[in-house]
Structure formats: C-alpha cells, structure tokens
Structure 1
C-alpha cells in the first residue's frame, strides 16, 4: 500500500495539523464542539470579557448621567418658554402641583417652576452648551465601547466629521430612547385603561392582559429599532447586516425585560420618602449601566458570528530578520597550545635519543 502524502481531512484540526488521537478536552469544550449556538455564546462572553465590557459599560454610564442634567435644563427651559406664552396653562400647572404635593415640597416645586419661567433664556443657553459638550463626549465613549467589541481602534478619522456624526447620533439616540421608554410607560400606566373605558372596551374579559401583551410587543419593536441602529452604525467598521439584525433582536428582548423590571422598581421606590429621595438617581444609574451592558453584549454577539469573523483582517506580523553570527569556540588559548606543542617536541626528542643510543 502506497504511503499517504496528504493529510487526512477527517483527522485534521482547524490549524491544518493531522492528529492521530484527539486531545483530552473538557466537558465545556466538548459541548462547544457539539453545539454551535453554545460555542457562539462562549465566543461572545470571551470577546466581552477580554475587551473590558464591564469597564466600558461603567464609563458610558458615567458620561450618560453627566449628560442627563444639561438635557433636563433644556427641557425645563423649553417648558419655561411654553408656559411664559400661556399664563392660563401656567396657573393650571401651579394648581396641579399644589393639589398633588403637600407642605414645603409644593412650595419648592412652585419656586423652581417660577425660576424656570423667569430665567428661561439663560437656562437654555447654559443647558445647550453643556448638553452639546457632554452629549458629544457621551456619544464618543459609546462609539468607543461598541467599536472595542469588534476589536477595532476607534481613534482616528477627521475630527469634524466624527463630531458631526456624534451630534447626529446623539439626537437620534435621544429620540429613540424617548420612543422606547414612552411605549413602556404608556403600557404600564393607567392611560391605556382609561382609553379603553372611554371607547367602551374596558369591560371585555381579559382586555388588560391583551393590552399588556400588545404593549410588550410594541415595546420590543421599538427596542429593536434602537438596538439595530446602535449595533449596526455605532462601530467604525463595516458590519454584516444579518449578524446585526439577529444581535438587535437579542438586545431588544433583553432591553424590554429590563424596562419591565425598571418600571416595577420605580413604582415601588417612589412610594416612600427615602425611595423618593435616593431611588431615582440610583435607579437611573443602574438602569443605564445594564442598558449599555446589553448593548455591548449584543455587539459582541454580532462581532463573533462566523460571518463577522470572516471579514476580520488580521495584522500581518513584521518580517523576521535572521542574522547568522559565526563564532569559533576553542577549549585552550593560543599560548597554551604552543606550550603543549613545545613540550611534546621535547619529549619526542628525548625518546628518540634514548632508543637511538641503544
């Protein structure tokens, strides 16, 4: 039988090496080799951990909270402009505050409202500048973290073009988040029940469960649009459409679950004085942190599909330079060698004279 000159494909591993015996792999490695979906999940986790996903999520959360306050200043300024032009609406808002909140808190909120109306111009100017500065920093760090999940260096490119993209991304992200949270808020509030009662459908058996299910489905669709845009267009690289679409669906479902738990948390936290004081800011920070974790996990999922890995251009290593040095190692030095030769010559001469004399 002729000897085989090519590798046996059945015994060749991914590195092109033919193996006669399989390595003794562990249970997890064997399960990964058997199930591709589990191997993909493990690749996602490895990518997320190796690229510092938790650290980037925490950093993005910091810049997100830093951007909230200037944006709220702009909202208060806009509310001030609206109320300043409509005194009747301003009186209704004051009356609503007085009826809803008792004691000194009502007076404090009324003073804040009056200040927002009187100083609406300065509040709008300061809020606009700080919102622009902090918002662009927020988007830059968000794009940085998402790009890292694709093992990209997000630094580079034209400065003004990048800032323009970040500005457009900031406006789009704010509108998308308002839409996503607005759908969940409407579904979880009593507005849906009031609307059903108004149109005469409130007495239908099980209508509350139906409306809740519809609200969840609509919320997932809204989340999907948000995550698809973030996963597809945030990283500074070409991203496969199919991988991003699947990753966005995973992120949308996780985001909806998070929103449902968030609505329960805020409804319970605001029901007591301690929760009303500290609950909102802690809840917002925790909510934003988990949102960005879901986003980075989704990006890592999209970046580790076979389709995405096939597009990776690995860096070519520098050419190796081989320098050959010729070195001669001798056991003895030249002087010692000469002395040994001289001693050998003398001994040979003595022997010759002795034997010659005989």
Structure 2
C-alpha cells in the first residue's frame, strides 16, 4: 500500500470512530457504491473522464451536422422542427446553434464532409472510450493488428449508431404518444393527469438509455460482468442521464449564453455536460467491475501472494472476468 493510501486509510479509520457520524460512515464504506468509487479513485477516473470528454466533444459536431444534413434533405418542415426539438432535449442548448436552412441549401456537401469527419473522430472516440472502460476494469490494452483494430472500431461505431437511432426513435414515439393521449383525452398539461403522462414518457426515455448502456458497458470494454450488477449499473446510468439532461438544460439554454464566457458560454456548458455524462458512464462501468466484498478481499489476497512469489503464473481475476 502506498504512503498516500495508508494516510487516507488512517483518516477514514479515525472518522469511523466519531460518535454520531462514525457508524453512518462505516455503513456507507461497506456499500457497493463506495467500493465502486474506491476503484474509480484507484484508476484515476478524472483523467479518464477528461479523455472521454475531449474525444466525445470532437465527435459530437460531425454527428450533429450529418444527422441534420440528412434530415434537412429528406424530411418536411414540420418533421425538421420536431427533430430540432428532439436534439434540444438530448443535447440541451445546442439546437439554437444549428442553421437548418443553411443545411438544406448545402445538404450534400455538408453530409459528405460530416460523414468523413465522423468516421475519423468516431473511431477515435470508440478507441478512447474502450481504453478508459478497460482501465476501470484494470484490464491490459488489447494487442491486435492496427488495421483490423480500426475495422473493428468502425463496426462498433456503426452498431452504436444503430443503437442510438433506436433509442432516439423510442423516445420520439413516446413523446408523440404522450402528446396524442393528452390531446385525445382533453387532459390539462399542467394537471395531475398530464404530470403522470410525462412521467411515463420519462420512464420510456430511461428504458431507451438503459438499452444503450447495456451495449456500451459490455461490448466496448470486452468484459462479461455479472448480470445483476450490469442491470443495476445500466439502470443507475439511465436514470442519471435523464436527470442530468433535466438539471442542465435550463442552465445551458438560459444562463450559458449570458455568462461571462460570452460566445463561448454554450460550448463551455456543453463540455461540462459531457464531462458529467462521461463520469456517470465510468461509475456505471466501475459498478459492473466491482465484485462483492468477499471477492474483493480474495482478489487482494491473491495479488499479495503474486507479489511475494506465491502464485505468479496464473491469470489475474480481471482476465478471468473479461473472457
């Protein structure tokens, strides 16, 4: 154990002995959530989140431009407005920056350039995200042929794009269905019935995010987490993602553009939103990678035996889990 870890352990032991706070702190430190955070702290998760934020920010704008260009060339005016509203829901504060008419006039050129940029930045995003998630699992980097590695990343990117389209479609249908039910039943949108319907739409959006996270938490790191931990982690991430959109949408739409950053207010706020989202994904990955307390203690003892020469030839626990 390093000197800093020993010092932190002594501080936590001292806090546990406090009269009122101590027992509650001891219970907290025995939870799976706390042990997941300890894993994140061990693998320097703030650095991992920064790397994911940078590559996500680079890949975001080609993705939006390509989607908007395709929509501008194929959809009608009402459908374009609906798409812009949907983008505003998924990525708060960015839809006002899109020039839909300009995309309609130059849809072919914009689509071609955005597609090429998205392929380049998207493959980089897949590679960076996989590396960060594998770091959370404490797995070594994959050794593959560089060309085949890029082809594989391209396939993952296409699959992720398809999963994203499915989730957006589910969310769009749910929102339209809520509006139709409200209109048909004559329910006041501000009334109790309207609130219940919007809660139902929120639940459908959570389900869509849940399915997407199942894809991300298993395929990208190349791991096989225990099923119950995977379901719980994906559910935590899905609810957290929707709450993040609700909490930050008001700030990004009403405050970011008027902040001290001036014209950079929206990009800065968008970076903040992406960073929180990346940290949430890393926490979900850590939840799936963290075993029970007994498993963690067993892995620790095995590691100490390896260091002392007890059994250094067998594969580590992470390799066994990853398959």
TM-score, normalised by the number of residues in structure 1: 0.62
Equivalent residue, structure 2, for 1:195: 180
Equivalent residue, structure 1, for 2:123: 136
Give, in angstroms, the shift of residue 32 of structure 1. Answer: 8.9
SS of 1:26's equivalent? helix
- Measure, in 1, the Cα distance between the counterparts of 2:156 and 2:216: 9
- Of 9, 15, 39, 1:47 maps to 39
Q: 1:70 to 1:110 in 2, by over 3 A?
A: closer
- Measure, in 2, the Cα distance between the counterparts of 1:259 and 1:145: 23
* 2:196 is the counterpart of 1:210: yes
- Measure, in 2, the Cα distance between the counterparts of 1:301 and 1:137: 25
- Measure, in 2, the Cα distance between the counterparts of 1:130 and 1:285: 19
Equivalent residue, structure 1, for 2:106: 116
Structure 2, unmatched stretches of 5+, are 1-11, 82-97, 311-323
CA contact (8 A) 2:69 2:110 kept: yes
* 2:14 is the counterpart of 1:26: yes
**Cα deviation 1:87-131 (Å, max 9, x = unaligned):** xx58x989xxxxxxxxxxxxx9587246414xx1x4333222221
Q: 1:273 to 1:289 in 2, by over 3 A?
A: closer
CA contact (8 A) 2:66 2:115 kept: yes
CA contact (8 A) 2:62 2:118 kept: yes
SS of 2:30's equivalent? helix
Equivalent residue, structure 2, for 1:127: 114
Q: 1:239 to 1:113 in 2, by over 3 A?
A: closer
Give, in angstroms, the shift of residue 133 of structure 1. Answer: 0.9
Larger radius of gyration: 1
Deviates more, 1:218-227 or 1:200-209: 200-209
CA contact (8 A) 2:15 2:25 kept: no
- Measure, in 2, the Cα distance between the counterparts of 1:110 and 1:227: 30
SS of 2:134's equivalent? helix
Equivalent residue, structure 1, for 2:315: none
CA contact (8 A) 1:269 1:275 kept: no
- Measure, in 2, the Cα distance between the counterparts of 1:146 and 1:110: 36
Give, in angstroms, the shift of residue 318 of structure 1. Answer: 8.6
Give, in angstroms, the shift of residue 75 of structure 1. Answer: 2.6
Deviates more, 1:125-134 or 1:303-312: 303-312
Higher helix share: 2
* 2:227 is the counterpart of 1:237: no
* 2:253 is the counterpart of 1:263: no
SS of 1:235's equivalent? coil
Structure 1, unmatched stretches of 5+, are 1-23, 84-88, 95-107, 321-358
CA contact (8 A) 2:236 2:284 kept: yes
CA contact (8 A) 1:149 1:296 kept: yes
**Cα deviation 1:6-28 (Å, max 9, x = unaligned):** xxxxxxxxxxxxxxxxxx94343
**Cα deviation 1:48-104 (Å, max 9, x = unaligned):** 112111111111111111112222332344245437xxxxx58x989xxxxxxxxxx
CA contact (8 A) 1:32 1:38 kept: no
RMSD value over aligned CA atoms? 4.2
**Cα deviation 1:318-349 (Å, max 9, x = unaligned):** 969xxxxxxxxxxxxxxxxxxxxxxxxxxxxx
TM-score, normalised by the number of residues in structure 2: 0.68
**Cα deviation 1:167-204 (Å, max 9, x = unaligned):** 233234344445556766888x8x67752453133249
Give, in angstroms, the shift of residue 241 of structure 1. Answer: 2.1
Q: 1:153 to 1:124 in 2, by over 3 A?
A: same
- Measure, in 2, the Cα distance between the counterparts of 1:311 and 1:242: 20
- Of 108, 130, 137, 1:150 maps to 137
Give, in angstroms, the shift of residue 272 of structure 1. Answer: 6.5
- Measure, in 1, the Cα distance between the counterparts of 2:165 and 2:80: 23
Equivalent residue, structure 2, for 1:12: none
- Measure, in 1, the Cα distance between the counterparts of 2:111 and 2:295: 44
Give, in angstroms, the shift of residue 161 of structure 1. Answer: 4.3
- Measure, in 2, the Cα distance between the counterparts of 1:282 and 1:46: 29
Give, in angstroms, the shift of residue 144 of structure 1. Answer: 0.7
